[in-house]
Structures are given as structure tokens and as C-alpha cells.
Structure 1
Amino acid sequence: MSATDAARGPEIPEPRFGFWRRCYAMTVKEFIQLRRDRVSFAMIVMLPVMQLLLFGYAINTTPHNLPTAVLLQEDSDLGRSILKALENTAYFHFVREVHDVTEFDDLLTSGKVLFGVEIPRGFERAVRRGDYPALLVAADATDPVAASSALSSLGVLVQTALSHDLYTGDPPTMPFEIRAHARYNPAASSRLNIVPGLVGTILTMTMLIFTALSVTREVERGTMESLLSMPITPVEVMLGKIVPYVLVGFLQAFLIIGIGVFLFGVPVRGSLTMLALLSTLFITTNLAIGYTFSTIAQNQLQAMQMSIMFFLPSILLSGFMFPFLGMPVWAQYVGEGLPLTHYLRIVRAIMLKGAALPNLEYDTVVLVLLMLLAMTVAVLRFRRTLD
């Protein structure tokens, strides 16, 4: 026996089932740690449940009862029959009656309605005389999925619904023309809808993650003590952490929009200045929400998990992947509370429709309110001590 072996002493024999006992001890330890980390445990349960409920109940790729405005320039029996026939198709739901073309166009530009039906003056008389007049159906085609189903089946469904009132041959033919006008995206190009939506989606994901880790990173690195010892208020800490990422988010938006315009041919018909200002508002709103998560989470893992839990319904219920107005009413109410929903309307309206600020007043006000609410909660939740 060498001197080294003598110094080590006699070898302790491996206990029976030692490998399995150690694995069992580590397994028990992980379960205990998981039980203590309630946020992670909640994510394990909530993520699959949320996905199942959203895809099962809220997502609908063939939307019905879409909001429609009508410009009825004559009050006639035939006009009312046509409107009733359109409603019976289950695609159109008349929510507004307008009195001039300007109001008709403003509703489509602002996104308050997806369709507009115009019955011109003297329409019934022209039908009786066999002049084959035109009935206009204008559609907001910025989302081709929402508009295509209704437009593609429009003529056949209306013809079937009016076959008893207007039977003009065997088989019956329509005594008037239906002119379907797909506005803003007449070619039904999906890239015109997706690329502007990607601006909001990418900004939501990155801005949430950047600031959700801000406070928890300070705690885990041990720099929060130095920060708390400084004569600085919670509002000043929040603004100091948000402002740099506003510039980062603005750069991201500039890159995405620039690539969309020059590589994919997406137009920018509205004001670039207004798009920049409202994009900055959206970026600040998401940063404030992410900062709120960082004041609630106890570590960076929990902050990431909260960001994912917020991002998942945002991408599914905002109208980015599926038609917003095709979702059930309860899902639309949830979507209205998400910043991405309002920004998607803003960016698509400015880029594809050339919308002005009065057309976007509602979505702008909601973004401001969400930003102020998130900032208020963040300031109130900010921990002035490390406990």
C-alpha cells in the first residue's frame, strides 16, 4: 500500500441501491422546490389550459355577424328585402345606418365596420324597369380572411334568399348587379396584413422581456441594494429603465417597417410622423407592463413566465393570427384590454388605409389609459426594500 493510499484511509463501500437513493432524493428535492415556486407551478397548469380554451372557444377562421354599415339612399320594400337577405346569410350584421358617402368611408377607414352596403337612389325603379342597376358592397380587405368568405358567397346567397321575390327566369337570375369592392387590399395579399401586424407582435415580445427582467436582474445580481441607497424615487427608477428601451423599440419598428416597404412592397399611405408617435406610445405601454411584471416577480424565471402568459393571449386575441371580429363577444372584451389589439388597428389603418388621427382616436386613448394604468401599478409595486 502506498503512502497516498494510506493517507486516504480505507474505502467506504458503496451502499446498497445508492445510485437510486440519490436520484430519489434529488427528485423529492425538485418537487419540494417546485411546490414552493408557485408561479412556475401555476404556469405548468395554466399554459395548456389557456391554449385549449382559446383555440377551442375563441378562435374562428370563418367569422360571422361581421359589423356592417348601410347607406340607404331610398326607403323601399326591395331595399329592405335585400338588407334582410344579407343578414340572413349570417355574414353581415348591420350596426350603423349612414346618410352620406363621407360617413360611409370614415367607418371603413376607422375599422368600426368591416363592410358597407350602398343602395343607390332609384334602385327599385331601375330593377322594375329591367335596367340592371348596381348594388355596392364595400369591404375592408386589410384582413383577407375576414372578408373573403362573405364576399365569395355574396351573390349566390342573396340570389337564393330573394328567389321568391325576384324570380326572373328559369333558373332565376339576379335583376341587379352586386359590385363587391375590396378596399385597401384588393388583391387579398396576406403579406399586406401580416407585415404590419409583425411590427406590433415583435415589439410586444421584445419590449416585455427587456423590462420584465430589469428589476429582478438587479436583485439577483445584488445591485439593488446600491440602487435603493441612492436618493432616487420609484418614478425616476421606472423612467430611467424604460427610456433606453423606447429607443431600442423605435429602432426595431423602423427596421421592420423598412423591410416591409422595400422588400415586400407594403405601402405606407398615411403619415409617417403619426405612425412614429403612436408606435412610441405602444412601445412605452409594453415597457410599462413589462416593468410591472418585474416588480411582481421574485426572479428572472418568473418574470419570463409572466411575459409568456401575457404574450400568448396577445398574439391570439388581438387579430394578428385570426379575425378579431370573428371571435365570441367575451373574447373580444378580453382582446380590448390588450395593447397589441389597438396597435394592430393603428398600424394597419395608417399603412394600408391612410387613416388620420380622428379615425384612430379610440385606440389611441385606450393605449394611453393602459400605459398610465401599468405605470401606476409599477410605481405602487416597486419594492423600496429587498424583503
Structure 2
Amino acid sequence: MNQILPSNAPQRVKGDGFLRKAFLRKAFLRKTWAMLIKEFIQLKRDRVSLAMIAIIPLVQLLLFGYAINTTPRDLPTAVLLQESSDVGRSILAALNNTRYFKVTELPRTEAEFDRLLASGKVLFGIEIPANFERSLRRGEKPAMLVAADATDPVAAGSALSALNRLTQTALMHDYAIPAAGTPAFEIRSHARYNPAAKTELNIVPGLVGAILTMTMLIFTALSVTREIERGTLENLLAMPITPIEIMLGKIIPYVIAGFVQAAIIISIGVFLFGVPLLGSLGMLALLTTLFVATNLSIGYTFSTVAQNQLQAMQMSVMFLLPNILLSGFMFPYAGMPRWAQYVGEILPLTHYIRITRAIMLKGATIADLRYEAAALAVLMLIAMTIAVTRFRRTLD
């Protein structure tokens, strides 16, 4: 016999479904809210991450906002005076008044003049030849020679264009010079090391350092924190091994990997982009190994400071951005304010970019790059010392 359902049964089923959906929505919101509160509590306890969230945007905005300048000023300049005269002094004053040039060196010979350009101590070299003033007074329109370090075309281009106005203003108050509708003297400029102003000749040597910095930092920044999170650090503690031996054992494999990576990038730059390699390949390899070891030491230091892999990644990114923006890789180093240049001097990428550009484009020798090599060695030793000290504390 068929059971007869009450007339209100469909309404009751429909109402039960509505109540069930309302209950599920309420439970969903309650559990989501609980997870949200849990994450805020965890973030509050993670003081390093909390500080980075607040500090990183502020520091980077102030640092890069004031430091980055695409119109470089006060570019270091060497002036070779083949004669001592009032005209030479007038030209020197006019150079400084352009705000593009800052005379920092007064070489005595052409060899010293060339060495200053090759070492990167100056970006411009200006030569006022002998008998320059006598030719001016005779109305012969002599030539002043200008050599520009064109490995950074942005810095060289704007300053060279300012030289054209120099011919009009340098001697305007010297009434002994014959007045004429044309400038009293001629400027002959020579863009050295990159006369065609090819962008790839500037970018590719810098990319070698930028890529190595990014990969080497991340690899080693995660090394110790990975051991802690996986619980394998206790195995290291049980072994008769010192912190320096652990650090070297972790770093050396990545030194080899970084060397291989640099060889691949440089080979592609030479054979695909046509970047010349005028200097010693052996010296480039040696200094590249030093640069890789420096970055690995810094990354290892981060791994001993960070409590987890997330913090290690945050520290790596925080260190990577100044390297990219304040090293002269993306923006002219000489155009930054003095305080920003001081910050750039403590970044490994700043020195390595100078090394690669000098060796590949200028054929520089170790004598020209001794300051850059010494700076990398000092940075590496400081980072290693901090890393070993911090690792001992981690072991305790």
C-alpha cells in the first residue's frame, strides 16, 4: 500500500536545503576568519618579515627616488694641458661651469691620460695641445681633443652634446681672441671602446654580473635555512666538522656552478651579440670566480641570519635591488649623488661591472683593476667572517 506524504513535504525539503546552505556559508566565513586571525598572529610573531613589509618600500622609495638620475652631472674628467696659458684656464673653468664635467685629474703625459680612461677613474679626457693659445690669437681655429669612455653611452652622450656650447662660451670674455661668427676653436671628440654606441656592448657585460648576483644569492641564502626546516642540521651537529668547513663545503660547488654559468653568458655575448673580448680571458675568469665567491658568502650570511626560507628570500631580494639599480648597470653611476655612490661602492656588482667592461671592451690589465679586485676580496672576507660567527650562534 502506497504511503501518502503530507501535503507540506516539498516545502519542508526545500526549507531544509536553504538552512543547510546558510549553515555552510556561515561555517565557511567562520573558518576563513579563523585562518585570517591565525595568519596575522603568525605574521606578528615573525618580526623580520613584519619589519621588511614596513621598511623595504620606504627605504627603496627614498633610496632610488633620490639616487637614480638619467641626466648625469659632475662626470670625472681628466685634462691634459700641453701648455700653461690663460686660455687653458678659461676652458677648465668653462668645463666645470657646464655641470656635466668635473675636472678630477691633471695628467702630465699621454700614457697617463690613456691609463686613467682605461682604468675607469675618469669618463672623459680632454687634451689642449701645445701652441693652442697662439693659434687662437692668429685666428687659425685650432682643435681641442676630447676622448670619451663610451662603455656607458647614456653618460657619454649627454655630456658630449654639452661640449658644443662650450665653444661658444669658453672664451667670450677674452677680448684678445678675434671675434667671428663661428666658434674660435674646434672640438674633435672620439668615443672610445664603443664608438658606434651599441647598447649591447654596455648591457651584456653588466648582465653577466646581474645574473650571477641573482642566482648565487638565492642558492646560498636558502642553504642553512633549508637544513633547519628539513631537520638535517642535527646531522651536521653530530659530525666532527667546524663552521668554516661547513661553509666552504656548501659554497665551493656553487662557485663551480657560477663559473660555468658565467662562461655560458660570456660566450653568448661574444659569439651572438658581438661583444669584443680585448683583455685577458684568464684574468676575467679569476676575477669572476672572486665575484661569485663574494656573492655566495653574502648569501650564506643571509641564510645564517634568516629563520626560514621565506626570510632568506626576502633578504636576497632586498640586497639584489640596490645591486641592480645603484651599480651602474641600469643607470649611469657617475650621475648619482655622492652619498648614493658611497652606497654603490659597498655592492659587489658595482666593482664587477667595472671589471667586465674594462677587460672586455678596453683590454684593461690587473694594474688598472687592482682597486676593484681588492674591494671584492675585502667584501668577501667580511661576509665570510660574519657568516662563520653567525653559524656558531646557530649551532648553539
TM-score category by the smaller chain? Answer: over 0.9
**8 Å contact kept, 1:86–1:158:** no
**8 Å contact kept, 2:100–2:162:** no
Partner amino acid, structure 2, of 1:319 = G
SS at match of 2:52: helix
1:82 maps to what in 2? 91
**8 Å contact kept, 2:71–2:158:** yes
Residues 96-105 or 123-132, more deviating: 123-132
**8 Å contact kept, 2:304–2:394:** no
**8 Å contact kept, 2:151–2:361:** yes
Q: For 2:380 and 2:274, locate their aligned partners in 1 and report how far apart those are by CA, in whole Å.
A: 32
1:107 maps to what in 2? 116
Deviation at 1:210, TM superposition (A): 0.5
2:147 maps to what in 1? 138
2:50 maps to what in 1? 41
**8 Å contact kept, 2:98–2:162:** no
Q: Identity rate of aligned residues, in percent?
A: 71
Partner residue of 1:53 out of 37, 45, 62:
62
Q: What do the CA deviations read for 1:179-206 (whole angstroms, capped 9, x no partner)?
A: 1111101111111000000000000000
In the superposition, relative to structure 1, how do residues 161 and 76 fare at CA in structure 2: closer, same or farther (>3 Å)? closer
**8 Å contact kept, 2:139–2:178:** no
2:388 maps to what in 1? 379
1:209 maps to what in 2? 218
Q: Which blocks of at least 5 consecutive residues in structure 1 are unaligned? A: 1-10
**8 Å contact kept, 1:168–1:174:** no
Partner amino acid, structure 2, of 1:239 = L
Q: For 1:78 and 1:262, locate their aligned partners in 2 and report how far apart those are by CA, in whole Å.
A: 48
Matches within 5 A, 1:124-203: 124-165=133-174, 168=178, 172-203=181-212
**8 Å contact kept, 1:217–1:300:** yes
Residues 57-66 or 18-27, more deviating: 18-27
SS at match of 1:181: strand
Deviation at 1:141, TM superposition (A): 0.8
SS at match of 2:367: helix
In the superposition, relative to structure 1, how do residues 128 and 267 fare at CA in structure 2: closer, same or farther (>3 Å)? same
Q: Which blocks of at least 5 consecutive residues in structure 2 are unaligned? A: 1-19
Aligned residues: 375
1:94 maps to what in 2? 103
Partner amino acid, structure 2, of 1:60 = N
Q: For 2:129 and 2:338, locate their aligned partners in 1 and report how far apart those are by CA, in whole Å.
A: 33
**8 Å contact kept, 1:225–1:386:** no
Q: For 1:135 and 1:385, locate their aligned partners in 2 and report how far apart those are by CA, in whole Å.
A: 63
Q: For 2:171 and 2:197, locate their aligned partners in 1 and report how far apart those are by CA, in whole Å.
A: 29
Q: Does 1:287 align with 2:293?
A: no
In the superposition, relative to structure 1, how do residues 37 and 279 fare at CA in structure 2: closer, same or farther (>3 Å)? same
Partner amino acid, structure 1, of 2:357 = R
Q: For 1:261 and 1:226, locate their aligned partners in 2 and report how far apart those are by CA, in whole Å.
A: 45
SS at match of 2:116: helix
Q: For 1:25 and 1:183, locate their aligned partners in 2 and report how far apart those are by CA, in whole Å.
A: 65
Partner amino acid, structure 1, of 2:260 = L
SS at match of 1:93: strand
1:8 maps to what in 2? none
Q: For 1:148 and 1:214, locate their aligned partners in 2 and report how far apart those are by CA, in whole Å.
A: 44
Partner residue of 1:348 out of 328, 341, 357:
357
Partner amino acid, structure 2, of 1:312 = L
Partner amino acid, structure 1, of 2:87 = L
Partner amino acid, structure 2, of 1:228 = L
TM-score, structure 2 as length reference: 0.91
Deviation at 1:165, TM superposition (A): 2.8
Q: For 1:207 and 1:55, locate their aligned partners in 2 and report how far apart those are by CA, in whole Å.
A: 24
In the superposition, relative to structure 1, how do residues 20 and 273 fare at CA in structure 2: closer, same or farther (>3 Å)? same
Deviation at 1:51, TM superposition (A): 2.8
1:327 maps to what in 2? 336
Matches within 5 A, 1:293-372: 293-372=302-381
Q: For 1:20 and 1:386, locate their aligned partners in 2 and report how far apart those are by CA, in whole Å.
A: 43
Q: For 1:235 and 1:244, locate their aligned partners in 2 and report how far apart those are by CA, in whole Å.
A: 15
Q: Does 1:21 align with 2:30?
A: yes
Q: For 1:164 and 1:205, locate their aligned partners in 2 and report how far apart those are by CA, in whole Å.
A: 54
TM-score, structure 1 as length reference: 0.93
**8 Å contact kept, 1:295–1:383:** no
Deviation at 1:163, TM superposition (A): 3.0
2:12 maps to what in 1? none
SS at match of 1:186: coil
2:10 maps to what in 1? none
In the superposition, relative to structure 1, how do residues 338 and 383 fare at CA in structure 2: closer, same or farther (>3 Å)? same
1:278 maps to what in 2? 287
Largest Rg, 1 or 2? 2
Q: For 2:54 and 2:148, locate their aligned partners in 1 and report how far apart those are by CA, in whole Å.
A: 41
Matches within 5 A, 1:224-239: 224-239=233-248
